[in-house]
Amino acid sequence: MANPSRGTRGMAVAPHSLASQSALAVLREGGNAVEAMIAATATIAVVYPHMNGIGGDSFWLVRTPADGVVGIDACGASAAGVSRADYAGKSAIPFRGGSAAITVAATMSGWHAAYRHSVERLGGRLPLSRLLDDAIHYARSGIAVTQSQHMNTAKKLPELQDIHGFAGAFLVDGRVPATGDVFRQPRMGATLEQLARAGLDDFYRGDLARTIARDLDAAGSPVTLDDLERHQALLRPPLELTHSKGRIYNMPPPTQGLVSLLILGQLDRLGIDRFDHLSPDYVHAAVEATKRAFRVRDRYITDPAAMQANGAPDPQSFLAASNLDAETAAIDMAKAAPWGAGKGPADTIWMGVVDGAGNAVSLIQSIYHEFGSGVVLGQTGINWQNRGASFSLDARHINTLEPRKKPFHTLNPAMALFDDGRVMVYGNMGGDGQPQSQSAVFTRVAVYGMNPQDAIAAPRWLLGRTWGQTSDTLKLEGRFPDATVAELRRRGHDVEMYPDYDETLGHAGCVIRHPNGNFEGGFDPRSDGGVAAY
């Protein structure tokens, strides 16, 4: 481990600058990338509460030079006592309230697994009390409300104001907090202090778990103490794509990590280096590859246990060269293929940290919709996710609601190990947009040689639905050339124009460590984020 008096070189990126700074502070104290990420993910849970929180799920990719890349699956299953019969007469599970808070919040188990990995594999020695210290401070002392928090609170208030505990947690003196207002979360501060004292597993098998279970029952959620006690984060081998530039990694089901890799595998075969990155050919190729990847997703991806029981192919098999060749050959570069409905929104954050030793973390953390279920637990201040609302009530659907089943997740963190020795972590929030923005960032860096900041800031596209949106159009930011927009429409795309740097296109980020030890990174100007380095 680096000398704590000198610190550990590294770089972090997050959609809120305070989270990047929390990671940087840990690196400067000699912490490793995993420790830095735990500090960042605790801070982001407090300072960007409309986007994520400890009442949600998370997925991690962790790379160490000695052990390679491992995934941490911190996804909670549905309650043992929930069933489709509970929603008789409804066409879908509600998005808000106790009847939407039907899956275990697994984020804390991901922090716990990552902390153990740091101690056991990296010699991490910073105590939890240090790693959670910034988050506790921001919860108790308050933060300045961002424009994003203000706008999302105001927009969603009509559907959230009467939900159990919401108003008391997210309104200030009974009103939507204005940008710049001081926003305090004393109950969250006390909860994080309890976790720092008792350990992160207290969330599932301790005094905190018993408090959470009582509050969930009072809110009308079917999640019980037994459901919490049964939960464990899982260490999972990641999916791996062999690319002409190196190896790319992402999470296996129940995430749509396979989609992200399928898109990049097809684009690699289409020879997109012959196109300009703002051209209609580039966007068309990416969109058509996305459609083919989404067909695989919608047919197969759900809880891996259910996939295995139903005889679904091994997800890694879709990344075989022969399969990617066949998918690519089916793309018509002159005409848009038909397109159906997307999967829907996702309210999420992505963050990345790489340290001077080459340890790297790509993390994504979510409560699903803005403010999740809207349910805020009375004693702990935890805003519970509504990820279970993504289950189908159709018994024939692959993602049908069943007891103790993991829901399909749009979440997927990405990582690349280039043949030239560079290590890159990158990702994005935003439902159907996550794999598409990942393809934009990766190809603009790896294929077009752009620096991370320019690759992220460049105009993006999004086919389908994302957070805050329900249309299935091809969304383009206004900075694309008029000729590109016209040609995409001529090829049959249903184009919808969006303003420059529109938050709808998601919050992306990227960090690269070069073989000589230098770093470069980029944050999304569509967010409140920042890059921090030492």
Active-site residue numbers?
A: 348
The 8-class DSSP code of residue 181 comes to -
CA dihedral 239, 242, 247, 253 (to 10 degrees): -10
Q: What is the 3-state secondary structure (H, E, C) of 449-513?
A: CCCHHHHHHCCCEEECCCCCCCCCCEEEECCCCHHHHHHHHHCCCCEEEECCCCHHHCCEEEEEE
Rounded Cα distance between 467 and 57, Å, is: 16
- Which tokens sit at 419? 């043949």
Taking Cα atoms as reference points, which of 189, 200, 206 lies closest to residue 379?
189
Q: At a CB cut-off of 8 Å and minimum separation 6, what does 76 contact? A: 57, 103, 104, 105, 106, 231, 385, 387, 406
CA 192 to chain CA centroid, Å, is 21
Long-range residue pairs from 268-274, CB within 8 A, at least 24 positions apart, any chain: 268/243, 268/244, 269/324, 269/325, 269/328, 270/328, 270/331, 270/333, 272/443, 272/447, 273/447, 273/448
Taking Cα atoms as reference points, which of 471, 401, 464, 405 lies closest to residue 91?
401
Rounded Cα distance between 466 and 435, Å, is: 11
Amino acid making up residue 303: D
The 8-class DSSP code of residue 518 comes to -
How far is the CA of 75 from the CAs of 58, 203, 438, in angstroms? 6, 14, 21
Rounded Cα distance between 353 and 263, Å, is: 24
Rounded Cα distance between 402 and 26, Å, is: 41
**Which residues are 12's β-sheet partners?**
353, 532
Class of residue 191 by CB neighbours under 10 A (exposed 0-12, middle 13-18, buried 19+)? buried
Q: Is residue 403 a contact partner of residue 79, using CB atoms and an 8 Å limit?
A: yes
Rounded Cα distance between 105 and 55, Å, is: 5
- Which tokens sit at 483? 């000729």
Q: At a CB cut-off of 8 Å and minimum separation 6, what does 314 contact? A: none
Rg (CA), the chain: 22
Rounded Cα distance between 180 and 143, Å, is: 8
Q: At a CB cut-off of 8 Å and minimum separation 6, what does 137 contact? A: none
- Which tokens sit at 524? 């999304």
Taking Cα atoms as reference points, which of 315, 325, 312, 304 lies closest to residue 240?
315
